[in-house]
């Protein structure tokens, strides 16, 4: 069945009330029943919940084959915990048919690819999938299609009972003996633990894994002991060098800077750019550099930013410290400047993924957002964005908060070079729709700016400010004139991943790719 972005969704996925994507805000006003976990009472006073090993914690929590284990991705490419837990479950306890439900997965998790190939891991639910794991899932080796959700879609699915977590594993930079966790104060600090919060509240069992045990009570706790069954102390939960870079530097690449300047120009041309405006930007080259130029416009107009959200890094913390932004509300930290600032700099707060982006709750921050600046792997002439699959059809990205912020914000700006090497970023049809075109307003490239015709108000803003813009079709043609028109990818029938829209409807599927054989 075709959905609202023209993607054909196979019927076998449309069961148990599952629908295809119908357009923005389709679920608004509908009722849901929240799920509740089945948890064990800890009535009798205990001095400590520390157990000897992960294997012991798994046994204590009744780990069995067929279960779903959850993880958060605050340790990013430095994470050791996913691999550690899965090794204990599969190699020590001999479990099988396991599902990993992670907030995201990356190159750190290459070893899991082997468990997928052996059939021990049969399900993956995540926002991001990259590296070896992306390759084996794309090759059709995972028993069930991977389920890809946005950062807001995940807490929605957990709270709505679509994902039932048997055991949540919380990698914690610090914990006390009963499981009050924080993201700071240890040797593998990550700052915010926002993505772990829903997991801890909705899982049947919660195991905290830490490499830095601190005195009770570890306050203010991001994950609270009231939800925790067991604490395991290990030598190291991650490689600090890969958890948070020393400082996210603003790009010096002239192409990035040129695009960033145009992003700021577009923002400054709209009526939403006024004292107290709200803002989110990614950490990619041109997105982050937009901060720099935006600050110049703020100074010129004598206005300040009211609040900023998102994954946070140094340049935003810098603006907070200079008093140019009122509050920073933080679901994840990308560099040490941000890690060292959360809870310390006045006005720098932590929030959960649900509070950040869940479309089914009643107060997600993304819905109050004025501007968001985002990157893309591909954008098509319907303004649909792909941030999940490469142009070659292989899984190597993450929707993250992209679809949530795009849908919630008043102005969503995508910034990307027109081509990368020989790949056309602006194309006829994206390989996978991860953010629907009705949520995307402006595209800024190194070859020109295009405004979504659904936003005549923004077209007028740009015209009034004398900012030149062109049609997205002309950008696509320019891209193809540079790199040549690509051949259509060839697919097999097998669905390897299902992409949920943030509201839980099905936005797209990824099928198994048929690679081109030059000798054939």
Residue 325's nearest CA partner among 333, 340, 311, 315 is 315
Does 480 bind another protein (CB under 8 A)? Our answer is no
Residue 220 binds another protein (CB under 8 A)? no
| 195 Cβ contact partners less than 8 Å away, ≥ 6 residues apart | 72, 73, 74, 103, 104, 151, 331, 332, 352, 353
Q: Which is nearer to another protein, 294 or 513 (CB)?
A: 513
**Beta carbon nearer to another protein, 214 or 470:** 470
Residue whose C-alpha is closest to residue 326's, from 352, 312, 307: 307
Of 111, 416, 100, 146, the residue nearest 255 (C-alpha): 416
516 binds another protein (CB under 8 A): yes
Question: Of 185-193, 318-326, 404-412, 477-485, which segment contacts another protein by CB under 8 A?
Answer: 477-485
Pick the closest to residue 490 from 463, 519, 516, 461 (CA basis): 516
* Shortest CB 305 distance to another protein, Å: 25
Q: Which of 272, 349, 447, 480 binds another protein (CB under 8 A)?
A: 447
Asked if 210 contacts 237 with a C-beta cutoff of 8 angstroms, the reply is yes
User: Residue count at the site for another protein (CB under 8 A)?
Assistant: 26
Binding range to another protein, per CB under 8 A, among 29-37, 147-155, 421-429, 498-506: 421-429
184 or 257: CB nearest another protein: 257
Least distance to another protein from the beta carbon of 268, Å?
18
User: Minimum Å distance from CB 250 to another protein?
Assistant: 13
- According to the binding rule CB under 8 A, does residue 296 interact with another protein? no
Q: Does 513 bind another protein (CB under 8 A)?
A: yes
Contact call for residue 446 and another protein (CB under 8 A)? yes
User: Distance of CA 182 to CAs 190, 191, 242, 343, Å?
Assistant: 9, 8, 19, 11
Provide the minimum distance between the beta carbon of 461 and another protein in the complex, in angstroms, as a whole number. Answer: 19
> Rounded to whole angstroms, how far apart are CA atoms 214 and 208?
13
Task: Choose, by CB under 8 A, the member of 144, 482, 492, 494 that binds another protein.
Answer: 482
Q: Write down the residue that tokens 């009705």 correspond to.
A: 438
Backbone angles phi, psi at 241, to 5 degrees: -65, -30
For residues 193 and 260, which CB has a smaller minimum distance to another protein in the complex?
A: 260
Tell me phi and psi for residue 277, to 5 degrees: -65, 160
Q: How far is the CB of 258 from another protein (least distance, A)?
A: 7
Under the criterion CB under 8 A, does residue 138 sit at the interface with another protein? no
Say how far apart CA 396 and CA 496 lie, in whole Å.
13
As a three-state string, the secondary structure of 450-461 is: EECCCCHHHHHH
285 in contact with another protein (CB under 8 A): no
Q: Identify the bridge partners of residue 379 per DSSP, sorted by sequence position.
A: 385, 426
Is position 388 an interface residue for another protein (rule: CB under 8 A)? Answer: no
Q: Half-sphere exposure of 268 toward its Cβ, with a 13 Å CA cutoff?
A: 23
* Among positions 43, 52, 487, 493, the unique one binding another protein when judged by CB under 8 A: 487
Toward another protein, which CB reaches closer, 252 or 464?
A: 252
* Distance between CA atoms of residues 371 and 264, nearest Å: 11
Q: Residue 221, interface with another protein (CB under 8 A)?
A: no
Residue selected from 6, 271, 453, 484 as contacting another protein according to rule CB under 8 A = 484
Residues 235 to 264 in contact with another protein, rule: CB under 8 A: 252, 254-255, 257-258
**50 membership: H or E segment, kind and range:** strand 50-51
How far is CA 47 from each of CA 178, 210, 217, 225, 231, rounded to the nearest angstrom? 8, 18, 12, 12, 12
Residues 6 or more apart in contact with residue 421 via CB below 8 angstroms = none
Query: By CB under 8 A, is residue 392 in contact with another protein?
Result: yes
Under rule CB under 8 A, residue 515 binds another protein: yes
Closer to another protein by Cβ: residue 94 or 254: 254
Residue 415 beta carbon to another protein: minimum distance, rounded to whole angstroms: 15
| Among 333, 379, 456, residue whose Cα is nearest residue 73 | 333
Q: Rule CB under 8 A: say whether 423 interacts with another protein.
A: yes
* Residues found near another protein in the complex (CB under 8 A): 252, 254-255, 257-258, 391-393, 420-423, 446-447, 481-484, 486-487, 489-490, 513, 515-516, 518
């Amino acid at each position: 069945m075709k959905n609202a972005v023209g993607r054909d969704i196979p019927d076998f996925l449309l069961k148990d009330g599952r629908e295809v994507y119908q357009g923005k805000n389709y679920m608004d006003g509908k009722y849901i029943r929240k799920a509740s976990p089945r948890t064990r009472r800890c009535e009798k006073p205990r001095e400590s919940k520390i157990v000897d090993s992960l294997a012991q914690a798994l046994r204590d929590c009744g780990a069995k084959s067929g279960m779903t284990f959850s993880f958060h991705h605050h340790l990013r490419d430095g994470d050791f915990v996913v691999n550690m837990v899965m090794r204990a479950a599969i190699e020590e306890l001999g479990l099988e048919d396991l599902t990993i439900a992670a907030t995201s997965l990356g190159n750190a998790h290459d070893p899991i690819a082997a468990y997928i190939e052996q059939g021990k891991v049969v399900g993956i639910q995540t926002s991001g999938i990259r590296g070896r794991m992306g390759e084996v899932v794309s090759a059709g080796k995972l028993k069930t299609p991977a389920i890809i959700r946005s950062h807001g879609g995940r807490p929605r699915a957990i709270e709505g009972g679509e994902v039932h977590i048997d055991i949540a594993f919380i990698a914690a930079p610090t914990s006390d003996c009963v499981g009050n966790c924080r993201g700071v104060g240890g040797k593998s600090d990550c700052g915010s633990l926002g993505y772990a919060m829903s997991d801890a509240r909705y899982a049947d069992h919660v195991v905290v894994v830490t490499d830095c045990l601190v005195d009770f009570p570890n306050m203010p706790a991001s994950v609270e002991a009231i939800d925790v069954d067991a604490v395991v102390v290990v030598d190291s939960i991650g490689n600090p060098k890969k958890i948070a870079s020393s400082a996210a530097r603003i790009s010096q690449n002239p192409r990035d800077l040129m695009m960033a300047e145009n992003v700021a120009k577009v923002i400054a041309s709209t009526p939403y750019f006024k004292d107290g405006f709200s803002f989110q930007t990614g950490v990619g080259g041109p997105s982050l550099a937009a901060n720099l130029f935006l600050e110049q416009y703020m100074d010129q107009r004598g206005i300040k930013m009211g609040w900023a959200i998102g994954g946070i890094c140094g340049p935003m913390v810098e603006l907070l410290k200079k008093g140019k932004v009122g509050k920073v509300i933080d679901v994840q930290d990308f560099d040490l400047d941000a890690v060292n600032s959360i809870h310390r700099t006045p006005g720098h707060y932590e929030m959960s993924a649900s509070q950040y982006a869940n479309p089914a709750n009643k107060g997600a921050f993304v819905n109050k957002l004025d501007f968001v600046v985002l990157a893309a792997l591909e954008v098509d002439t319907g303004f649909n964005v792909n941030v999940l699959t490469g142009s070659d059809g292989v899984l190597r990205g993450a929707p993250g908060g992209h679809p949530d912020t795009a849908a919630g914000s008043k102005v969503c700006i995508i910034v990307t070079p027109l081509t990368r090497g020989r790949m056309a970023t602006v194309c006829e049809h994206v390989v996978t729709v991860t953010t629907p075109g009705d949520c995307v307003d402006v595209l800024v490239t190194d070859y020109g700016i295009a405004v979504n015709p659904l936003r005549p108000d923004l077209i007028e803003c740009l015209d009034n400010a004398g900012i030149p813009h062109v049609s997205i079709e002309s950008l696509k043609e320019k891209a193809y004139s540079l790199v040549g028109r690509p051949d259509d990818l060839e697919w097999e029938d097998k669905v390897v991943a299902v992409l949920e829209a943030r509201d839980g409807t099905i936005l797209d599927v990824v099928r198994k790719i048929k690679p081109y054989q030059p000798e054939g």
